[in-house]
Amino acid sequence: DAKTTQPTSMDCAEGRAANLPCNHSTISGNEYVYWYRQIHSQGPQYIIHGLKNNETNEMASLIITEDRKSSTLILPHATLRDTAVYYCIVRVDGTDSWGKFQFGAGTQVVVTP
């Protein structure tokens, strides 16, 4: 699976949009981009995923560049409860894969009042 690069940390003001970048320049055609987050030491929580089109759900939006070499997770109105480590993971979603996720260090997001 392709490697991802994320900033170590970022701060965000409560109520503002949080834009979390992720670089995955070696991504291949059958690899999806997944975003999970981990609040304190709880289990990772699924946020969103996509292949090449932009995606939106009730939690966030995912913007993937046309060349698929990078993506941005957008939390539209950050709240204090969004303080967490956010993981961008690239995973092959095909017949060769049994579905394991390989987590990196992620981005520590701190939302401040």
Residue recorded with tokens 């939106």: 56
- Segment near another protein (CB under 8 A); pick from 20-28, 41-49, 51-59, 66-74: 41-49
Neighbour-count burial of 15, counting CB atoms closer than 10 A to its CB (0-12 exposed, 13-18 middle, 19+ buried): exposed
> In the bound complex, what is the minimum distance in angstroms from residue 15's beta carbon to another protein?
26
Of these, 91, 107, 109, 111, which contacts another protein (CB under 8 A)?
Answer: 91
105 binds another protein (CB under 8 A): yes
The neighbouring-strand residues paired with 12 are 111
Which lies closer to another protein via its Cβ, residue 31 or residue 82? 31
